Structure 1
Protein backbone atom coordinates (compact mmCIF):
# COMPACT_ATOMS: atom_id res chain seq x y z
CA UNK A 1 0.00 0.00 0.00
CA UNK A 2 2.73 2.45 1.03
CA UNK A 3 4.92 1.48 -1.91
CA UNK A 4 2.04 2.03 -4.33
CA UNK A 5 1.32 5.46 -2.84
CA UNK A 6 4.97 6.48 -3.21
CA UNK A 7 5.02 5.20 -6.80
CA UNK A 8 1.86 7.14 -7.67
CA UNK A 9 3.23 10.28 -6.06
CA UNK A 10 6.49 10.01 -8.00
CA UNK A 11 4.55 9.46 -11.23
CA UNK A 12 2.45 12.53 -10.47
CA UNK A 13 5.58 14.61 -9.88
CA UNK A 14 7.06 13.46 -13.19
CA UNK A 15 3.80 14.27 -15.01
CA UNK A 16 3.81 17.77 -13.57
CA UNK A 17 7.44 18.32 -14.55
CA UNK A 18 6.87 16.95 -18.06
CA UNK A 19 4.63 19.87 -19.04
CA UNK A 20 6.05 23.27 -20.05
CA UNK A 21 7.60 24.84 -16.97
CA UNK A 22 5.71 28.11 -17.39
CA UNK A 23 2.41 26.24 -17.32
CA UNK A 24 3.40 24.42 -14.13
CA UNK A 25 4.41 27.70 -12.49
CA UNK A 26 1.12 29.36 -13.45
CA UNK A 27 -0.80 26.39 -12.03
CA UNK A 28 1.06 26.43 -8.73
CA UNK A 29 0.81 30.22 -8.48
CA UNK A 30 -2.97 30.03 -8.91
CA UNK A 31 -3.16 27.31 -6.24
CA UNK A 32 -1.19 29.54 -3.87
CA UNK A 33 -3.56 32.46 -4.41
CA UNK A 34 -6.53 30.19 -3.68
CA UNK A 35 -5.05 28.68 -0.52
CA UNK A 36 -2.89 31.32 1.16
CA UNK A 37 -4.50 32.77 4.26
CA UNK A 38 -7.50 30.46 3.87
CA UNK A 39 -7.57 29.98 7.66
CA UNK A 40 -8.29 33.72 8.06
CA UNK A 41 -10.95 34.13 5.40
CA UNK A 42 -11.76 37.68 4.30
CA UNK A 43 -14.63 38.54 1.96
CA UNK A 44 -12.53 41.19 0.24
CA UNK A 45 -10.22 38.43 -1.02
CA UNK A 46 -13.02 36.25 -2.37
CA UNK A 47 -12.87 37.66 -5.95
CA UNK A 48 -9.15 36.93 -6.32
CA UNK A 49 -9.60 33.41 -4.95
CA UNK A 50 -12.50 32.71 -7.31
CA UNK A 51 -10.56 34.01 -10.32
CA UNK A 52 -7.50 31.93 -9.39
CA UNK A 53 -9.77 28.90 -9.01
CA UNK A 54 -11.25 29.60 -12.45
CA UNK A 55 -7.74 29.56 -13.94
CA UNK A 56 -7.29 26.05 -12.56
CA UNK A 57 -10.70 24.78 -13.67
CA UNK A 58 -10.48 26.25 -17.18
CA UNK A 59 -7.09 25.23 -18.66
CA UNK A 60 -7.53 27.58 -21.63
CA UNK A 61 -7.46 30.53 -19.23
CA UNK A 62 -4.20 29.52 -17.57
CA UNK A 63 -2.00 31.39 -20.06
CA UNK A 64 -4.51 34.15 -20.83
CA UNK A 65 -3.02 37.64 -20.28
CA UNK A 66 -6.45 39.15 -19.48
CA UNK A 67 -7.05 36.62 -16.69
CA UNK A 68 -3.66 37.23 -15.07
CA UNK A 69 -4.00 40.98 -15.52
CA UNK A 70 -7.31 40.79 -13.65
CA UNK A 71 -5.78 38.64 -10.92
CA UNK A 72 -2.77 40.94 -10.50
CA UNK A 73 -5.13 43.92 -10.37
CA UNK A 74 -7.24 42.33 -7.62
CA UNK A 75 -4.19 41.46 -5.53
CA UNK A 76 -2.72 44.91 -6.09
CA UNK A 77 -5.97 46.58 -5.03
CA UNK A 78 -6.21 44.50 -1.86
CA UNK A 79 -2.57 45.27 -1.11
CA UNK A 80 -3.27 49.00 -1.37
CA UNK A 81 -6.39 48.75 0.77
CA UNK A 82 -4.88 46.67 3.55
CA UNK A 83 -1.18 47.52 3.23
CA UNK A 84 -0.69 48.39 6.91
CA UNK A 85 -1.94 44.99 8.10
CA UNK A 86 -0.15 42.82 5.53
CA UNK A 87 2.87 40.69 6.34
CA UNK A 88 5.93 40.36 4.12
CA UNK A 89 4.98 37.26 2.16
CA UNK A 90 1.64 38.78 1.12
CA UNK A 91 3.49 41.57 -0.69
CA UNK A 92 5.80 38.96 -2.23
CA UNK A 93 2.85 36.91 -3.52
CA UNK A 94 1.39 40.05 -5.12
CA UNK A 95 4.70 40.87 -6.83
CA UNK A 96 4.93 37.29 -8.07
CA UNK A 97 1.44 37.34 -9.57
CA UNK A 98 2.48 40.49 -11.46
CA UNK A 99 5.46 38.54 -12.81
CA UNK A 100 3.13 35.75 -13.91
CA UNK A 101 0.97 38.32 -15.72
CA UNK A 102 4.00 39.78 -17.51
CA UNK A 103 5.14 36.29 -18.54
CA UNK A 104 1.83 35.60 -20.31
CA UNK A 105 2.63 38.25 -22.96
CA UNK A 106 6.25 37.16 -23.43
CA UNK A 107 7.33 35.04 -26.39
CA UNK A 108 9.36 32.88 -24.00
CA UNK A 109 7.55 32.94 -20.62
CA UNK A 110 9.91 30.46 -18.94
CA UNK A 111 12.99 32.72 -18.95
CA UNK A 112 10.86 35.71 -17.88
CA UNK A 113 9.62 33.76 -14.87
CA UNK A 114 13.14 32.48 -14.11
CA UNK A 115 15.00 35.80 -14.17
CA UNK A 116 12.31 37.62 -12.21
CA UNK A 117 12.15 34.83 -9.64
CA UNK A 118 15.90 35.15 -9.12
CA UNK A 119 15.65 38.90 -8.72
CA UNK A 120 12.68 38.77 -6.36
CA UNK A 121 14.37 36.19 -4.14
CA UNK A 122 17.60 38.19 -4.13
CA UNK A 123 15.88 41.50 -3.38
CA UNK A 124 13.68 39.93 -0.70
CA UNK A 125 16.66 38.56 1.19
CA UNK A 126 18.78 41.62 0.43
CA UNK A 127 16.31 44.04 2.01
CA UNK A 128 15.75 41.63 4.90
CA UNK A 129 19.49 41.60 5.58
CA UNK A 130 19.75 45.38 5.28
CA UNK A 131 16.91 45.88 7.78
CA UNK A 132 18.58 43.54 10.26
CA UNK A 133 21.93 45.32 9.92
CA UNK A 134 20.39 48.77 10.37
CA UNK A 135 18.26 47.74 13.36
CA UNK A 136 20.31 47.37 16.52
CA UNK A 137 17.73 45.10 18.12
CA UNK A 138 18.73 42.33 15.70
CA UNK A 139 22.47 42.78 16.08
CA UNK A 140 22.27 42.42 19.86
CA UNK A 141 19.85 39.48 19.65
CA UNK A 142 17.07 41.25 21.53
CA UNK A 143 14.50 41.09 18.72
CA UNK A 144 14.74 37.33 18.32
CA UNK A 145 15.02 36.87 22.09
CA UNK A 146 11.73 38.69 22.67
CA UNK A 147 10.07 36.87 19.78
CA UNK A 148 11.10 33.47 21.15
CA UNK A 149 9.65 34.38 24.54
CA UNK A 150 6.30 35.69 23.28
CA UNK A 151 5.43 34.17 19.91
CA UNK A 152 3.56 30.90 20.42
CA UNK A 153 4.75 29.68 16.99
CA UNK A 154 8.31 29.71 18.35
CA UNK A 155 7.56 27.75 21.52
CA UNK A 156 9.38 24.78 20.00
CA UNK A 157 12.57 26.84 19.62
CA UNK A 158 12.30 28.37 23.09
CA UNK A 159 11.82 24.96 24.70
CA UNK A 160 14.44 23.01 22.76
CA UNK A 161 17.10 25.67 22.21
CA UNK A 162 16.65 27.81 25.31
CA UNK A 163 15.36 25.32 27.89
CA UNK A 164 12.47 27.62 28.78
CA UNK A 165 9.62 25.66 30.35
CA UNK A 166 6.04 25.81 29.11
CA UNK A 167 4.95 27.33 32.43
CA UNK A 168 7.42 30.20 32.03
CA UNK A 169 6.27 30.83 28.47
CA UNK A 170 2.65 30.93 29.67
CA UNK A 171 3.65 33.37 32.43
CA UNK A 172 5.35 35.58 29.83
CA UNK A 173 2.11 35.80 27.86
CA UNK A 174 0.28 36.88 31.01
CA UNK A 175 2.93 39.47 31.88
CA UNK A 176 2.94 40.89 28.37
CA UNK A 177 -0.86 41.09 28.26
CA UNK A 178 -0.90 43.03 31.52
CA UNK A 179 1.53 45.65 30.19
CA UNK A 180 -1.15 47.34 28.09
CA UNK A 181 -3.36 47.72 31.16
CA UNK A 182 -0.80 48.79 33.76
CA UNK A 183 2.03 50.30 31.68
CA UNK A 184 4.29 49.29 34.56
CA UNK A 185 7.81 47.94 33.91
CA UNK A 186 7.98 44.16 33.91
CA UNK A 187 10.60 41.51 33.24
CA UNK A 188 9.91 38.40 31.21
CA UNK A 189 11.12 34.98 32.31
CA UNK A 190 14.09 33.71 30.32
CA UNK A 191 17.31 31.71 30.61
CA UNK A 192 20.93 32.57 29.93
CA UNK A 193 21.00 29.79 27.35
CA UNK A 194 18.15 31.41 25.42
CA UNK A 195 19.95 34.77 25.55
CA UNK A 196 23.03 33.32 23.88
CA UNK A 197 20.97 31.17 21.52
CA UNK A 198 19.04 34.24 20.36
CA UNK A 199 22.27 36.07 19.60
CA UNK A 200 23.70 33.09 17.72
CA UNK A 201 20.51 32.59 15.70
CA UNK A 202 20.38 36.30 14.89
CA UNK A 203 23.84 36.25 13.32
CA UNK A 204 23.12 32.95 11.58
CA UNK A 205 20.01 34.51 10.04
CA UNK A 206 21.90 37.61 8.91
CA UNK A 207 24.68 35.46 7.42
CA UNK A 208 22.51 33.04 5.45
CA UNK A 209 20.06 35.72 4.27
CA UNK A 210 22.98 37.86 3.11
CA UNK A 211 24.57 34.93 1.28
CA UNK A 212 21.27 34.09 -0.43
CA UNK A 213 20.86 37.71 -1.54
CA UNK A 214 24.36 37.82 -3.05
CA UNK A 215 24.04 34.37 -4.64
CA UNK A 216 20.80 35.28 -6.42
CA UNK A 217 21.60 38.88 -7.35
CA UNK A 218 25.16 38.45 -8.62
CA UNK A 219 25.38 35.57 -11.14
CA UNK A 220 28.91 36.63 -12.07
CA UNK A 221 30.02 35.24 -8.72
CA UNK A 222 29.77 31.82 -10.31
CA UNK A 223 30.74 29.63 -7.37
CA UNK A 224 28.32 31.29 -4.98
CA UNK A 225 25.64 31.54 -7.67
CA UNK A 226 25.91 27.78 -8.19
CA UNK A 227 25.15 27.29 -4.48
CA UNK A 228 22.01 29.44 -4.51
CA UNK A 229 19.51 26.56 -4.50
CA UNK A 230 21.26 24.77 -1.66
CA UNK A 231 21.37 27.96 0.41
CA UNK A 232 17.69 28.72 -0.22
CA UNK A 233 16.60 25.18 0.61
CA UNK A 234 18.73 25.20 3.76
CA UNK A 235 17.07 28.44 4.85
CA UNK A 236 13.57 27.13 4.16
CA UNK A 237 14.10 23.83 5.97
CA UNK A 238 15.81 25.33 9.02
CA UNK A 239 13.49 28.32 9.34
CA UNK A 240 10.01 27.06 8.61
CA UNK A 241 10.30 23.86 10.61
CA UNK A 242 10.64 26.17 13.64
CA UNK A 243 8.34 28.94 12.36
CA UNK A 244 5.57 27.23 10.35
CA UNK A 245 4.52 30.05 8.00
CA UNK A 246 2.93 28.08 5.15
CA UNK A 247 2.51 30.87 2.59
CA UNK A 248 6.06 32.24 3.00
CA UNK A 249 7.61 28.79 2.62
CA UNK A 250 5.35 28.10 -0.37
CA UNK A 251 6.16 31.29 -2.30
CA UNK A 252 9.91 30.80 -1.76
CA UNK A 253 9.73 27.18 -2.95
CA UNK A 254 7.61 28.24 -5.92
CA UNK A 255 10.03 30.97 -6.99
CA UNK A 256 12.94 28.61 -6.38
CA UNK A 257 11.31 26.12 -8.74
CA UNK A 258 10.68 28.85 -11.33
CA UNK A 259 14.28 30.07 -11.43
CA UNK A 260 16.30 26.85 -11.55
CA UNK A 261 17.12 25.03 -14.79
CA UNK A 262 18.39 21.88 -13.08
CA UNK A 263 15.88 19.00 -13.44
CA UNK A 264 17.05 17.49 -10.16
CA UNK A 265 16.63 20.74 -8.27
CA UNK A 266 13.25 21.36 -9.90
CA UNK A 267 12.18 17.97 -8.60
CA UNK A 268 13.37 18.78 -5.06
CA UNK A 269 11.57 22.13 -5.01
CA UNK A 270 8.36 20.61 -6.36
CA UNK A 271 8.34 17.67 -3.93
CA UNK A 272 8.93 19.96 -0.95
CA UNK A 273 6.17 22.27 -2.18
CA UNK A 274 3.64 19.48 -2.73
CA UNK A 275 4.43 17.90 0.65
CA UNK A 276 4.50 21.23 2.48
CA UNK A 277 1.24 20.58 4.40
CA UNK A 278 2.84 17.39 5.77
CA UNK A 279 6.42 18.32 6.67
CA UNK A 280 5.90 21.92 7.73
CA UNK A 281 3.78 21.25 10.86
CA UNK A 282 5.44 17.92 11.69
CA UNK A 283 8.13 19.21 14.12
CA UNK A 284 5.53 21.32 15.94
CA UNK A 285 3.16 18.35 16.13
CA UNK A 286 5.85 16.05 17.52
CA UNK A 287 6.85 18.73 20.02
CA UNK A 288 3.32 19.24 21.33
CA UNK A 289 2.68 15.50 21.52
CA UNK A 290 5.84 15.00 23.56
CA UNK A 291 4.91 17.97 25.74
CA UNK A 292 1.45 16.54 26.36
CA UNK A 293 2.82 13.09 27.19
CA UNK A 294 5.37 14.63 29.53
CA UNK A 295 2.62 16.42 31.36
Structure 2
Protein backbone atom coordinates (compact mmCIF):
# COMPACT_ATOMS: atom_id res chain seq x y z
CA UNK A 1 0.00 0.00 0.00
CA UNK A 2 1.29 3.46 -0.88
CA UNK A 3 0.58 6.87 0.57
CA UNK A 4 0.92 10.26 -1.05
CA UNK A 5 4.07 12.19 -0.31
CA UNK A 6 3.58 15.60 1.31
CA UNK A 7 5.35 18.75 0.18
CA UNK A 8 7.31 18.89 3.45
CA UNK A 9 8.56 15.37 2.81
CA UNK A 10 9.43 16.36 -0.75
CA UNK A 11 11.56 19.30 0.38
CA UNK A 12 13.33 17.38 3.14
CA UNK A 13 14.16 14.41 0.91
CA UNK A 14 15.38 16.71 -1.86
CA UNK A 15 17.70 18.40 0.62
CA UNK A 16 18.97 15.04 1.89
CA UNK A 17 19.67 13.86 -1.65
CA UNK A 18 21.58 17.03 -2.53
CA UNK A 19 23.61 17.03 0.68
CA UNK A 20 24.61 13.38 0.65
CA UNK A 21 24.98 12.36 -3.01
CA UNK A 22 28.61 13.41 -3.35
CA UNK A 23 29.79 12.74 0.19
CA UNK A 24 31.07 9.20 0.95
CA UNK A 25 28.17 8.52 3.33
CA UNK A 26 25.56 6.98 0.97
CA UNK A 27 22.73 9.15 -0.31
CA UNK A 28 20.46 6.15 -0.93
CA UNK A 29 21.09 4.96 2.63
CA UNK A 30 20.33 8.37 4.09
CA UNK A 31 17.14 8.77 2.04
CA UNK A 32 16.04 5.36 3.27
CA UNK A 33 16.85 6.22 6.90
CA UNK A 34 15.29 9.70 6.89
CA UNK A 35 12.10 8.61 5.12
CA UNK A 36 11.59 5.71 7.56
CA UNK A 37 12.62 7.57 10.73
CA UNK A 38 10.61 10.74 10.20
CA UNK A 39 7.84 9.66 7.84
CA UNK A 40 7.39 5.97 8.66
CA UNK A 41 7.58 4.91 5.03
CA UNK A 42 10.16 4.35 2.30
CA UNK A 43 10.52 6.99 -0.42
CA UNK A 44 11.58 4.17 -2.74
CA UNK A 45 14.54 3.33 -4.96
CA UNK A 46 12.90 4.95 -7.98
CA UNK A 47 12.42 8.27 -6.16
CA UNK A 48 16.10 8.12 -5.21
CA UNK A 49 17.19 7.39 -8.78
CA UNK A 50 15.07 10.20 -10.25
CA UNK A 51 16.19 12.87 -7.77
CA UNK A 52 19.77 11.86 -8.55
CA UNK A 53 19.15 13.45 -11.95
CA UNK A 54 19.23 16.76 -10.12
CA UNK A 55 22.58 16.10 -8.50
CA UNK A 56 24.00 14.82 -11.79
CA UNK A 57 22.80 18.01 -13.49
CA UNK A 58 24.90 19.80 -10.88
CA UNK A 59 27.90 17.69 -11.95
CA UNK A 60 27.26 18.55 -15.61
CA UNK A 61 27.21 22.26 -14.79
CA UNK A 62 30.15 22.23 -12.39
CA UNK A 63 32.38 20.21 -14.72
CA UNK A 64 30.94 21.61 -17.97
CA UNK A 65 34.36 22.74 -19.19
CA UNK A 66 36.01 19.40 -18.44
CA UNK A 67 33.13 17.42 -19.93
CA UNK A 68 33.10 19.44 -23.15
CA UNK A 69 36.88 19.10 -23.50
CA UNK A 70 36.75 15.33 -22.92
CA UNK A 71 33.85 14.81 -25.33
CA UNK A 72 35.50 16.89 -28.04
CA UNK A 73 38.80 15.01 -27.64
CA UNK A 74 37.01 11.64 -27.64
CA UNK A 75 35.13 12.31 -30.87
CA UNK A 76 38.31 13.60 -32.51
CA UNK A 77 40.21 10.51 -31.43
CA UNK A 78 37.50 8.15 -32.64
CA UNK A 79 37.73 9.51 -36.17
CA UNK A 80 41.40 10.59 -36.29
CA UNK A 81 44.21 8.31 -35.05
CA UNK A 82 46.64 11.18 -34.57
CA UNK A 83 44.50 12.52 -31.68
CA UNK A 84 44.46 9.28 -29.67
CA UNK A 85 47.45 10.12 -27.50
CA UNK A 86 45.43 12.93 -25.94
CA UNK A 87 44.67 12.29 -22.25
CA UNK A 88 41.16 13.69 -22.58
CA UNK A 89 40.45 11.16 -25.36
CA UNK A 90 41.59 8.36 -23.08
CA UNK A 91 39.54 9.79 -20.21
CA UNK A 92 36.44 9.51 -22.37
CA UNK A 93 37.08 5.79 -22.76
CA UNK A 94 37.84 5.40 -19.06
CA UNK A 95 34.43 6.82 -18.18
CA UNK A 96 32.61 4.73 -20.80
CA UNK A 97 34.31 1.44 -19.91
CA UNK A 98 34.24 2.16 -16.18
CA UNK A 99 30.45 2.47 -16.36
CA UNK A 100 29.94 -1.06 -17.68
CA UNK A 101 30.11 -2.93 -14.31
CA UNK A 102 27.38 -0.89 -12.61
CA UNK A 103 25.26 -0.97 -15.76
CA UNK A 104 25.33 -4.77 -15.97
CA UNK A 105 24.85 -5.40 -12.25
CA UNK A 106 22.14 -2.74 -12.03
CA UNK A 107 20.08 -4.54 -14.68
CA UNK A 108 20.72 -8.03 -13.32
CA UNK A 109 19.82 -7.13 -9.74
CA UNK A 110 17.15 -4.52 -10.48
CA UNK A 111 14.43 -6.20 -8.40
CA UNK A 112 16.70 -6.89 -5.42
CA UNK A 113 17.92 -3.28 -5.39
CA UNK A 114 14.36 -2.05 -5.06
CA UNK A 115 13.33 -4.56 -2.39
CA UNK A 116 15.61 -6.60 -0.12
CA UNK A 117 18.61 -4.29 -0.53
CA UNK A 118 16.65 -1.50 1.16
CA UNK A 119 16.41 -3.38 4.46
CA UNK A 120 17.69 -1.04 7.17
CA UNK A 121 19.65 -3.80 8.91
CA UNK A 122 21.66 -4.09 5.71
CA UNK A 123 22.02 -0.30 5.43
CA UNK A 124 23.33 -0.05 9.01
CA UNK A 125 25.74 -2.92 8.44
CA UNK A 126 27.15 -1.46 5.23
CA UNK A 127 27.54 2.01 6.75
CA UNK A 128 29.83 0.55 9.41
CA UNK A 129 31.59 -2.18 7.43
CA UNK A 130 32.46 0.07 4.50
CA UNK A 131 33.73 2.70 6.93
CA UNK A 132 36.72 0.43 7.55
CA UNK A 133 37.33 0.15 3.81
CA UNK A 134 37.44 3.95 3.52
CA UNK A 135 39.70 4.18 6.58
CA UNK A 136 42.06 1.57 5.11
CA UNK A 137 42.18 3.44 1.80
CA UNK A 138 43.03 6.67 3.59
CA UNK A 139 45.70 4.96 5.69
CA UNK A 140 47.42 2.93 2.97
CA UNK A 141 46.88 5.23 -0.01
CA UNK A 142 50.11 6.94 -1.08
CA UNK A 143 48.29 9.82 -2.84
CA UNK A 144 51.07 10.56 -5.30
CA UNK A 145 49.26 10.33 -8.62
CA UNK A 146 47.21 13.08 -10.26
CA UNK A 147 44.20 12.66 -12.52
CA UNK A 148 46.49 13.13 -15.55
CA UNK A 149 48.18 9.87 -14.55
CA UNK A 150 44.94 7.88 -14.52
CA UNK A 151 45.10 4.66 -16.58
CA UNK A 152 42.53 2.32 -18.10
CA UNK A 153 43.22 -0.19 -15.32
CA UNK A 154 42.45 2.50 -12.74
CA UNK A 155 39.23 3.38 -14.52
CA UNK A 156 38.03 -0.22 -14.63
CA UNK A 157 38.87 -0.86 -10.97
CA UNK A 158 37.14 2.33 -9.83
CA UNK A 159 34.20 1.49 -12.10
CA UNK A 160 33.89 -1.91 -10.43
CA UNK A 161 34.01 -0.21 -7.03
CA UNK A 162 31.23 2.14 -8.13
CA UNK A 163 28.98 -0.89 -8.66
CA UNK A 164 29.07 -1.54 -4.89
CA UNK A 165 26.94 1.60 -4.50
CA UNK A 166 23.96 -0.42 -5.70
CA UNK A 167 23.80 -1.54 -2.06
CA UNK A 168 22.38 1.30 0.08
CA UNK A 169 24.87 2.20 2.79
CA UNK A 170 28.00 1.73 0.69
CA UNK A 171 28.18 5.08 -1.18
CA UNK A 172 29.09 5.64 -4.80
CA UNK A 173 31.73 8.27 -4.04
CA UNK A 174 32.96 6.26 -1.05
CA UNK A 175 33.56 3.22 -3.24
CA UNK A 176 35.23 5.02 -6.13
CA UNK A 177 37.33 7.40 -4.02
CA UNK A 178 38.51 4.53 -1.81
CA UNK A 179 39.52 2.52 -4.87
CA UNK A 180 41.35 5.56 -6.21
CA UNK A 181 43.24 6.01 -2.95
CA UNK A 182 44.27 2.34 -2.93
CA UNK A 183 45.59 2.91 -6.47
CA UNK A 184 47.74 5.80 -5.29
CA UNK A 185 45.64 8.70 -6.58
CA UNK A 186 45.31 11.89 -4.57
CA UNK A 187 41.97 12.45 -2.86
CA UNK A 188 41.16 15.30 -5.25
CA UNK A 189 42.02 13.21 -8.34
CA UNK A 190 39.95 10.28 -7.09
CA UNK A 191 37.00 12.58 -6.31
CA UNK A 192 37.12 14.28 -9.72
CA UNK A 193 37.12 11.00 -11.60
CA UNK A 194 34.39 9.72 -9.28
CA UNK A 195 32.14 12.61 -10.30
CA UNK A 196 32.81 12.11 -14.02
CA UNK A 197 32.35 8.34 -13.77
CA UNK A 198 28.94 8.73 -12.12
CA UNK A 199 27.42 10.80 -14.94
CA UNK A 200 26.39 8.10 -17.45
CA UNK A 201 25.38 5.58 -14.78
CA UNK A 202 23.21 7.96 -12.77
CA UNK A 203 21.60 9.59 -15.80
CA UNK A 204 20.71 6.17 -17.22
CA UNK A 205 19.40 4.96 -13.85
CA UNK A 206 17.30 8.08 -13.32
CA UNK A 207 15.72 8.02 -16.77
CA UNK A 208 15.15 4.26 -16.58
CA UNK A 209 13.45 4.61 -13.17
CA UNK A 210 11.28 7.60 -14.11
CA UNK A 211 8.16 5.56 -15.04
CA UNK A 212 8.40 3.47 -11.85
CA UNK A 213 8.64 6.58 -9.68
CA UNK A 214 5.03 7.41 -10.55
CA UNK A 215 3.82 3.88 -9.83
CA UNK A 216 5.88 2.53 -6.90
CA UNK A 217 5.65 -1.19 -6.23
CA UNK A 218 4.66 -2.25 -2.69
CA UNK A 219 4.41 0.03 0.30
CA UNK A 220 5.95 3.48 0.52
CA UNK A 221 5.60 7.13 -0.38
CA UNK A 222 4.26 8.07 -3.80
CA UNK A 223 5.37 11.42 -5.24
CA UNK A 224 3.50 13.38 -7.88
CA UNK A 225 5.20 14.68 -11.00
CA UNK A 226 5.41 18.17 -9.52
CA UNK A 227 6.94 16.84 -6.29
CA UNK A 228 9.54 14.84 -8.20
CA UNK A 229 10.44 17.96 -10.17
CA UNK A 230 10.78 20.10 -7.03
CA UNK A 231 12.82 17.47 -5.17
CA UNK A 232 15.11 17.12 -8.19
CA UNK A 233 15.54 20.90 -8.44
CA UNK A 234 16.40 21.16 -4.73
CA UNK A 235 18.88 18.31 -5.10
CA UNK A 236 20.48 20.16 -8.00
CA UNK A 237 21.04 23.40 -6.06
CA UNK A 238 22.26 21.78 -2.87
CA UNK A 239 24.31 19.22 -4.82
CA UNK A 240 26.19 21.93 -6.72
CA UNK A 241 27.27 23.52 -3.44
CA UNK A 242 28.23 20.09 -2.07
CA UNK A 243 30.55 19.40 -5.02
CA UNK A 244 32.42 22.66 -4.53
CA UNK A 245 32.71 22.04 -0.79
CA UNK A 246 33.92 18.44 -1.10
CA UNK A 247 36.63 19.21 -3.67
CA UNK A 248 38.04 21.88 -1.36
CA UNK A 249 37.63 19.70 1.73
CA UNK A 250 39.50 16.65 0.43
CA UNK A 251 42.57 18.71 -0.46
CA UNK A 252 43.37 19.43 3.19
CA UNK A 253 41.29 16.94 5.19
CA UNK A 254 41.34 13.17 5.47
CA UNK A 255 38.48 10.75 4.85
CA UNK A 256 38.49 9.83 8.55
CA UNK A 257 35.90 12.54 9.18
CA UNK A 258 33.40 10.62 7.07
CA UNK A 259 34.46 7.31 8.60
CA UNK A 260 33.56 8.56 12.07
CA UNK A 261 30.24 9.94 10.89
CA UNK A 262 29.29 6.69 9.13
CA UNK A 263 30.05 4.59 12.19
CA UNK A 264 28.01 6.87 14.47
CA UNK A 265 25.00 6.80 12.11
CA UNK A 266 25.30 3.04 11.67
CA UNK A 267 25.38 2.41 15.43
CA UNK A 268 22.44 4.76 16.02
CA UNK A 269 20.50 2.96 13.30
CA UNK A 270 21.24 -0.41 14.92
CA UNK A 271 19.94 1.02 18.18
CA UNK A 272 16.73 2.31 16.63
CA UNK A 273 16.12 -1.00 14.89
CA UNK A 274 16.97 -3.07 17.94
CA UNK A 275 14.59 -1.13 20.18
CA UNK A 276 11.79 -1.22 17.62
CA UNK A 277 11.65 2.55 17.13
CA UNK A 278 11.72 2.02 13.37
CA UNK A 279 11.05 -0.99 11.18
CA UNK A 280 13.72 -2.54 8.96
CA UNK A 281 11.44 -2.94 5.95
Q: Aligning the two structures, in what range does the TM-score lie when normalised by the shorter sequence?
A: under 0.3
- TM-score using structure 1 length: 0.24
Whose helix proportion is higher, 1 or 2?
1
